[in-house]
Structure 1
């Protein structure tokens, strides 16, 4: 909670206040002096020397004591008034939410943190969103293959639609978020939009409209809308977090949010497997809609964040920021520029892994689908552990060391995969164990890299540009992912997986280079 530590000097234009804002010791030659109650002292300047009678000196001593008492009373009144404001503020807070207190000197509203309970609901929202998004994205290829017999091109298009929206819409939606300054409304609207399009797709299936080329177009449109809504939701979350917690707690808060999101990502395949065992794939959309409904309900539990940026009267003061301002600020601020370059290279490596690893594991090494799924599960569980410990690791070792260490450690895991592609049996033991080790190391490193430095945009960006700068950063870090998947897939097809894996290793290690000049904290 933010309190006003400066005692109020009162309104110096008020005659009642002027009687206590005075000089106790007038300069030589001043006549008469005014102290406390405003009575003149009997000072008689004579030859530049102030002379007083004993009676005047006694009167002056009495008036000084009265003045001191009046100052003490004024200070006591200020402190009592402050305590009264605080008690009223605490009594008026409900459910962990605290109203903003006005500064007694400036009259401006001081924003305070909504508290740990609101952060808990914020994390619950991330869990529900991750659960729903992961189930929706996993269901789409299952439906398009099982019901329409689509090939790899259609599946690739389904996967690229979501990431492609980050490339196209991160900057404009970031600027829109800054202008509206209503991040919770932005998040809730995006979630409700996903619920609506899923319900329409479910209705189309019930009416036997989800078939043939029309059915494929419906699924493509569904994934496109989910991708757009995901960009809007992520934009709103980036604007909301600095309002939810103090600046020095953003990294810890993002660790909590990322941990709960990872848990949702881990549970989504398990829930989907159980649903598909008893129902046809389209009916699983009901579970996705319920997950999004949980998100909407949890978003209604934290308040006081969705307020337009402005003064205490709530009037908006945000100016219209040109689209290029977010990009120019991102490029001109050295720390943000270096973190963005490192994250873009690392995400390119992640998409290289997603493209190459299924081919290497299932085709070249001959692993079963169940074994490959277990490898992915090990990485997801490791990601939860990494997200939960990332804030403490960064606080102990510093931002620069953590980001460099994560890139180098992830590179060592990719090196294991490269050795497996060079020659069968080059590494001792079953290949599934080495791929599991890579997946676990990669899961920890990816989560730690995502949380470390999560507070940098809030620290180095003016409040009215948060959405624009974050959107520019996501355009680079998320937009490069579909491009990387396309190029790495093409390279693997033309020149083989060994060379493509070497490029994957190079991208992973290159992510450490921009971090050598990052700040330690």
Structure 2
């Protein structure tokens, strides 16, 4: 325990107070998101008697804003205050979660209403997710970017670890309403923390036509030899992850015989893996080149998908938990590294748009994966979804392994890659 505290303290040292406020807001906002995301399929299955197809469609509704809202919000983040955008977005999410609470208490909740309010809450999440990475470089110096991103991801890891377990326990012990009430209160607190953050002024270019600004951002990503394969890797990772995630709760309940608390515990293993991966990140960075560090996550994702496929032969709580642990432990290194790389080579005035394009790939692929999971489970059953998910993970591992990203010796100083001679 003392060693973990030492690592956390060393990560915190040197980071300004404004960033600390952002980091705490991020921790609380991520916790609110994870509690609501964990509660939604449990409410759908246990309260609304939803099947695999229904939970897949619910996942689609809760992730669709990442596909259709990331880019418009990214352009907005480059034009206006990123802090204000994040604060308003958390307020929107708090209202959506409070709406679910009221519907539960009045016994008026239906699956369509749950999906609509999940969509509204996810829109707030999108705005926060797009603006936060663009705000970090304005709060910390370039040499502290990796440490700052590590701190953000460690906070996210804690939220991912506790959120699903808390969500499952609240639904199982107290009821769905209180899970959403807790999420609403946390989002309101995250918004309040952001209200006191001072965002440094930045030179904002004159607003141009939306499509011209979007074109510039897309062209920058498409032409960059490092950003392009990272974007493709993120797409296939998330398609595979959410094809699996779309059917996991009904699969775990009906095929693996788990209770709501047990399902929450396996989902919580994802966050435990993230915490372990975040704590191990400094050690890995000292022993492995920057490029190799970025390959750890995709290959851990592949191993995790194979562990889940193994439950088709050996139904096991522990195999399922191990799968989610691997999905958290490896990809956290990818998230820290890819965010640092993107911030290092992207012009400040384009940060919001590039962040939005990344969010579209990272999160926008999620409704596609969820919809794919719903369609496959309806036609071929839940077992086929696990196999298709594993194929998606295999593709993303191959993409990053064959790209110049894997050969990076260190973080590039600019648009040119720091490839070994």
TM-score, normalization: structure 2?
Answer: 0.81
The alignment status of 1:160 with 2:60, answered yes or no, reads yes
Corresponding residue SS for 2:338 = coil
Structure 1 position 407, deviation (Å): 2.4
Q: 2:305 maps to which residue?
A: 414
2:379 counterpart of 1:491: no
Contact 1:390 1:452 in 2 (8 A): no
Partner of 2:228: 337
* CA RMSD across the alignment: 3.1
Equivalent position of 1:323 in the other structure: 214
Residue 69 of structure 2: aligned partner = 169
Count residues in correspondence: 391
Q: Which stretch of structure 1 is more off in the superposition, 169-178 or 378-387? A: 378-387
Judging changes above 3 Å, is the alpha-carbon distance between structure 1 residues 405 and 242 closer, same or farther for their aligned structure 2 residues?
A: same
1:179 corresponding residue in structure 2:
79
Q: Which residue in the other structure is 1:299 paired with?
A: 194
Q: What is the distance in 2 between the residues matched to 1:498 and 1:220?
A: 25
- Cα distance change, pair 288–458 in 1 and its aligned pair in 2 (3 A): same
Higher relative contact order structure (alpha carbons within 8 Å, sequence separation ≥ 6): 2
Does 1:444 pair with 2:332? no
- More deviation in 271-280 or 382-391? 271-280
**CA gap 1:287/1:374 in 2 versus in 1, 3 angstroms:** closer
Can you list the C-alpha shifts for 1:386-425, whole angstroms capped at 9, x where unaligned? 123335523541232122233233323433433443x45x
Query: Matched residues in 2 for 1:376 and 1:486: separation?
Result: 20
Q: Which residue of 2 aligns with 1:63?
A: none
1:455 counterpart SS class:
helix
Instruction: State how 1:45-84 maps to structure 2 within 5 Å.
Output: none
Distance 1:398 1:486, change over 3 A: same
Determine which of 125, 130, 133 is the counterpart of 1:238.
Answer: 133
Quote the residue 1:189 is aligned against. 88
State the alpha-carbon separation in 1 of the partners of residues 347 and 397 from structure 2.
27
**Where does residue 253 of structure 1 map in the other structure?**
148
Q: Please, which of 376, 382, 388 is the counterpart of residue 267 of structure 2? A: 376
Whether the 8 Å contact between 1:239 and 1:467 is mirrored in structure 2 is yes
- 2:373, 2:337 → 1: CA distance? 27
Larger Cα-atom Rg = 1
Residue 262 of structure 1 is matched in structure 2 by 157
User: CA–CA distance in 2 between the matches of 1:387 and 1:459?
Assistant: 20
Q: Is the 8 A contact 2:52 2:250 kept in 1?
A: no
Q: Residues 228-255 of structure 1, C-alpha deviation per residue, up to 9 Å, x if partnerless?
A: 1111111210220111112232222122
1:330, 1:469 within 8 Å by CA — same for their partners in 2? Answer: yes
Query: Residues 114-129 of structure 1: matches in 2 within 5 Å?
Result: 115-129=15-29
- Per the alignment, residue 284 of structure 2 pairs with 393
Deviation at 1:257, TM superposition (A): 0.9
- In structure 1, how many angstroms separate the alpha carbons of the residues matched to 2:318 and 2:97? 39
Q: Structure 1, unaligned stretches of length 5 or more?
A: 1-113, 311-315, 425-429
**8 A Cα contact 2:162 2:271, kept in partner:** no
Contact 1:251 1:453 in 2 (8 A): no
1:509-520 matches, within 5 Å, as: 509-515=394-400, 516=402, 517-518=404-405, 519-520=408-409
SS at match of 1:520: coil
Instruction: Please report how far the alpha carbon of residue 142 of structure 1 lies from its aligned counterpart in structure 2 after TM superposition.
Output: 4.8
- In 2, the alpha carbon distance for the partners of 1:274 and 1:371 equals 9
Taking the aligned partners of 1:369 and 1:362, their CA distance within structure 2 comes to 8
Change (3 A) 1:222 1:476: same
Shift of the alpha carbon at 1:283?
Answer: 4.4
In the other structure, the counterpart of 1:211 is 108
Asked if residue 229 in structure 1 is aligned to residue 114 in structure 2, the reply is: no
The structural deviation recorded for 1:340 is: 0.9
- The answer as to whether partners of 2:93 and 2:122 remain within 8 angstroms in 1 is no
The structure with the greater share of residues assigned to helix is: 2
Q: Which sections of structure 2, spanning at least 5 residues, go unmatched? A: 1-13, 411-421
Question: What's the offset of the Cα at 1:443?
Answer: 1.9
Deviates more, 1:139-148 or 1:448-457: 139-148
Specify the alignment match of 1:354 in structure 2. 245
CA apart distance, 1:366: 4.7
Distance 1:216 1:367 in 2: 22
Could you tell me which of 12, 31, 35 is aligned with 1:131?
Answer: 31
How many Å apart are 1:118 and its aligned residue?
Answer: 2.6
Farther off after superposition, 251-260 or 276-285: 276-285
In structure 2, the CA distance between the partners of 1:263 and 1:479, relative to structure 1 (3 Å rule), is same
Q: Provide the C-alpha distance between the structure 2 equivalents of 1:299 and 1:488, rounded to a whole number of angstroms.
A: 36
The answer on whether the counterparts of 2:161 and 2:274 sit within 8 Å (CA) in structure 1 is no
Aligned-residue offset at 1:356: 5.0
Give the structure 1 partner of residue 317 of structure 2: 432
- Contact 2:129–2:359 (Cα < 8 Å) also in 1: no
Superposed CA offset, 1:287-314 (max 9, x none): 2232123212322343143x3x22xxxx
